Amino acid sequence: MELVKGITSDNELIELAKKLNIHIDDILTIDEVKKPLPKGSYIILLRRGNGVGHWVCCHNGEWFDSTGIGPPAVFGKMRYNQIQYQSTYSEHCGIYCILWLYSKQKNRPTLLSGFTNFDIDFVN
């Protein structure tokens, strides 16, 4: 039995995308993006202040971040998910990107609907 582990490299993302027949136009770092991207499917590596990376993606003008945060200003105005699928300390952002791209490219809009929203407010 194989357990799902976090994906941390672009090579691992490419391998998983090939297995699922998902087309990726490019994998970029946020520093390489100077203007809104043309239509297509892109995976982007964001770097946090401490050098830790976080995978996000976009598809045909729509943004996906598994933490539910919108795109940086360089991308312009884009629709984006506001659901936090990934907990703060999870390493599965790359897998969520692949799942989201799969849902877009294979016309499976409800694919992520069964996942937990971790952006929950607790009231006493």
Residue 83 confidence (pLDDT) above 80: yes
Domain at 10-105: CATH code: 3.40.395.10
Q: Check residue 65 and give its pLDDT.
A: 93
Does the pTM surpass 0.85? The reply is no
pLDDT band at residue 121, thresholds of 50, 70 and 90?
very low
Q: Check residue 124 and give its pLDDT.
A: 45
Q: Which residue has the higher pLDDT, 12 or 124?
A: 12
pLDDT band at residue 36, thresholds of 50, 70 and 90?
very high
pLDDT band at residue 123, thresholds of 50, 70 and 90?
very low
Q: Domain coordinates of the chain in residue numbers?
A: 10-105
Burial readout 64-95 (b: 16 or more C-beta within 10 A, e: otherwise) = bbbbbeebeeebeeeebbebbbbeeeeebbbb
Q: Which residue has the higher pLDDT, 109 or 65?
A: 65
Residue 54 confidence (pLDDT) above 80: yes
